Structure 1
Amino acid sequence: MQDTHPLRITVSKSDNNLYQAKIDYTATQIDSVNSYKVNSSGELEAIDFEHYPAMKVVSQSFPEIKQNQLTTNQINMWVVAVQDALFEQKGLKPVIDVVYDLETATDGNIANVKVFKIDYTSSANGGADNANKTLINEFRINSDGNLEIKDVSRETGYRIISKVYMDTSMVQ
């Protein structure tokens, strides 16, 4: 996807043991961006918007991910997956309970990402005004391609929170 807005990817297994994914924006409550699944032939399918709700094959091969050469969009998706896991550990449902946004900057081999929680208040016309944007976490991709989270209790200031792209098993 070409969109640079932070996206949330929710992956699940279907009843027939095949993987499927749903993609949503993190900072707004709108319809899904797209839905994907892996079919029984191992091909990636996406919603065919011209023949909704039918699915169509969009890829028969999967690209190799090089963690020390990630695009801004890939970095954002990894951070969203880890931040969602952190919220879930606190008993929050990221899709429902929390609205947040990212600011991403790259500098050579290092990428830095700030996660901001957005609090909305009602406006006089019945809409919502952006009332407050609060920094809640800072991440970086180190030169080895590991995702780190800022940890002021450590001497180095950061600790590794994920070593494999999109893996949240180390999240604590």
Structure 2
Amino acid sequence: MEIAPAPARRTLSGRALMLLVLAVIGPVTLLALLPTTLGLERYVVATGAMDGGIDRGSVVLERVVPVSDLEVGDVITYRPPRSADVNELVTRRIVRIDGALLQTQGDALADPDPWLVPVAEAALPRVVLAIPYAGYPFLGSAPREAWWAMVVPGALLGFLALRGVVRRRPRRAAVRPGGPILGWGPP
């Protein structure tokens, strides 16, 4: 009877672990910090009213521009008038500008919004970039603290990997039938 050695379990090298951590944490960090440094605002599209152009769950990056720079076709995020009975921000496309009033419509909606947006403010956020699916974690029913409970350990793991605290395990000696004993050594 011949005995075959068990295959060695593969562990992640320090470099592979660091790349994995950066692949997970890097985009989240960029999404959180880069817009702020570029003077952009971030919003998550929470409804399907803009589906087809900007789908539900997308993160939109917006730059505040003077109202005089807005044109028909621009996508903006604003708070509807109180008479609209909508208590949250909405992201919509401008379909008509009538002096100091804007008419908006969602890309997935057949009709324009039933309210006109008075342009009392000097500036409004206009969409610069939409990142599909990136906002889905923030649409769930889990409280924000639950998401922090996942981000903080991930960041700690990344820090430890960069500091060299997390190291790969050395290989165990293996015996090959009819061959020499392999000792501990570089991979």
What's the TM-score bracket when you normalise by the shorter of the two chains?
A: under 0.3
**TM-score, L = length of structure 2:** 0.22
**TM-score, L = length of structure 1:** 0.23
Give the structure with higher Rg (CA): 2
